[in-house]
Structure 1
Amino acid sequence: MGDTAKPLMMVAVDNSNHSFYALEWALDNFFAKVGSNHLFRLIVIHARPSPNALFGFGGPGTTSTDVISLMDADAKKAAQKVIERVKDACGRRSVSNVPVQSMEGDPRDVITEAVDKHHADILVLGSHGYGAVKRAVLGSVSDYCAHHCSCSIMIVKKPKS
């Protein structure tokens, strides 16, 4: 995977089943053949929320440094579990040496900045499948990336069971 002449595929994950479905789909369709000459280099990006973002609209006294440090430690542990899950998914498909980066911030900003920083040629994202109302309230990371990233976007939808 060290061939820098190949185009770079970036897969963005959170700890949802939808994003891991997208990762596994990309691995199965572009990287899974053992010993084959892959078309892409691969990097996986994980955006973890900052502790302040986890508070939302907390009232007075909710920004105690003790509480923030505990929430930050929990977010880092959760990020480590996501990284381990990524490495496990890659390992089961004999795809090795995949860089996994976990960065703090709003996923929309983290992903678009990572695309620019690494000069990604294609970004793969999972779709949570939110309806119009939920998407309007929560926002859609994939929609934001489709409009703001400087590369091609592949949105992988998990089939309904």
Structure 2
Amino acid sequence: MATSEKQVMVVGFDDHEHSAYALEWTLKHFFAPFTSNPPFKLVIVHAKPSPPSVAIPEASEILRYTEADLKKIAARVAESVEEICRNKLENEAIVEVMQGDPRNVLCDAVEKHQASVLVVGCHGYGAIKRAVIGSVSDYCAHHAHCSIMIVKKPKTKH
């Protein structure tokens, strides 16, 4: 990479509060202090789930509705990202919606953009829940070819 070209930071974003916190934390710590010239080019990636594939002819209409719902959710998430960036960022961010498993989508985005940093939020699942449903941050920490920053939302006191 040329020295005059900015490094790329990819931020994973979904419709959970943990990713919104991670994005806001990233903007505050890496972009707000450098409003006119931030150190990174920012790429925000949302993974839209693939609709299930079913070979039953009667299910085709259900699949159409499912795909339409997934598109609406992805559009809502992208709109939410753009609003956060508008309120906290003077420079432009690239927002991408890619279809697939979030773990693979984020690692693919790192490769595509030759990112030097990947930022993901953390849901705070315990070891058993992570083992059963999987963890995007754990997967990315082992498979993404860049530095990984896992941003944890502080626990609230009751």
- Provide TM-score, normalisation by structure 1: 0.89
- Residue 104 (structure 2) pairs with residue 106 (structure 1): no
Instruction: Provide the C-alpha distance between the structure 2 equivalents of 1:148 and 1:23, rounded to a whole number of angstroms.
Output: 21
- Native 8 Å contact 2:36 2:90 kept in 1: no
AA of the residue aligned to 1:124: V
Deviation at 1:26, TM superposition (A): 0.3
Partner of 1:121: 116
AA of the residue aligned to 1:116: E
What SS does the aligned partner of 1:11 have? strand
Instruction: Provide the C-alpha distance between the structure 2 equivalents of 1:137 and 1:124, rounded to a whole number of angstroms.
Output: 23
What SS does the aligned partner of 2:52 have? helix
What SS does the aligned partner of 2:140 have? helix
- Residue 75 (structure 2) pairs with residue 77 (structure 1): no
Partner of 2:83: 88
- Residue 137 (structure 2) pairs with residue 142 (structure 1): yes
Q: 1:135 to 1:4 in 2, by over 3 A?
A: farther
Deviation at 1:4, TM superposition (A): 6.9
Deviation at 1:65, TM superposition (A): 1.3
Instruction: Provide the C-alpha distance between the structure 1 equivalents of 2:131 and 2:49, rounded to a whole number of angstroms.
Output: 20
- Native 8 Å contact 1:4 1:41 kept in 2: no
Q: 1:109 to 1:62 in 2, by over 3 A?
A: farther
Identity of aligned pairs, percent? 50
CA RMSD for the aligned pairs? Answer: 2.1
What SS does the aligned partner of 1:51 have? coil
- Native 8 Å contact 1:34 1:94 kept in 2: no
Partner of 1:50: 50
Partner of 2:146: 151
Q: Which structure 2 segments of 5+ residues have no match?
A: none
Instruction: Provide the C-alpha distance between the structure 1 equivalents of 2:134 and 2:102, rounded to a whole number of angstroms.
Output: 11
Deviation at 1:34, TM superposition (A): 6.7
- Native 8 Å contact 1:123 1:151 kept in 2: yes
Q: 1:63 to 1:111 in 2, by over 3 A?
A: farther
AA of the residue aligned to 1:26: T
How far does the alpha carbon of each residue in 1:131-159 deviate from its partner, in whole angstroms, 9 at most, with x for none? 11110110011000000000000000000
Deviation at 1:94, TM superposition (A): 3.1
Q: Which structure 1 segments of 5+ residues have no match?
A: none
